[in-house]
Amino acid sequence: MTVSNKSRTAPQRTRDRSNDRLQEISLVAANLFCQKGYAQTTTKDIARACNISVGTLYYYITSKRDFIKIFVDIHAADIDRWARKINRELRTVAPEKLLRKAVREFVYGVDRRKDMVNFWFHTSKVLAREELELVFEIEHRTNSMFQKIIEIGCKQGVFHTSDPAVDAISIHTLCQMWALKNWFFSGAYTPRRYAKLCADTALAMVQKKGAVNSTKPAKPPAKR
């Protein structure tokens, strides 16, 4: 049951506003990290870009490194919402339609947090091992969701691919290119147009004629 804003207690509303503001600050921080580099960006830079004092910024964080955990939490929450929504429709929606929807909505999510996606790829060396493992787990869950859709399509005979796992990773990577190569795509594509391009490409990828359906990854060549 959804709780209306009126029925929330004053402390709950305060926490909600605080969380919303923290997300706004985090998006600004991610943008600065991409522009200037993580090491070169100071808390003073972040506060100035947010039009708040450094003291106010420290109301939300204890150090610059807190943003890494915040980014992981935002990233994970977004993927969780996406995965739950798609998972509910796995058995009721046609695989072609569901793959299009999954790709399209995933691209929109990448667009919302594109600076954070860039941060993971270009600043991984500043992440602690446990932080990297969390990011890898999120990536794995995303691949698994695309793979599930492809495998169902193969079983129904509408998709034809020899390795659903490889195609899932390829589709995932294509979606992330919106963030990683945004300097190129943003001049020619809107998020909606790029999402459609990704969905069309994903369908073409798994509807290859002549491919042998399989729900198992291809075996690596034997060692000589």
- The torsion defined by the Cα of 28, 30, 33 and 39, in degrees rounded to 10, comes to 110
Domain with CATH 1.10.357.10 in the chain: 68-214
CATH architecture of 68-214: Orthogonal Bundle (1.10)
Domain with CATH 1.10.10.60 in the chain: 10-64
pTM, full prediction: 0.82
d(CA 71, CA 74): 5
Calculate Rg over the CA atoms of the chain.
Answer: 20
Q: CATH for 10-64?
A: 1.10.10.60
Closest CA to 139 of 198, 79, 90: 79
pLDDT tens digit string along 20-77? 889 899 999 999 999 999 999 999 999 999 999 999 999 999 999 999 989 989 999 9
Q: In degrees, to the nearest 5, what angle opens at C-alpha 21 toward C-alphas 19 and 25? A: 115
- The torsion defined by the Cα of 93, 94, 99 and 104, in degrees rounded to 10, comes to -60
d(CA 101, CA 99): 5
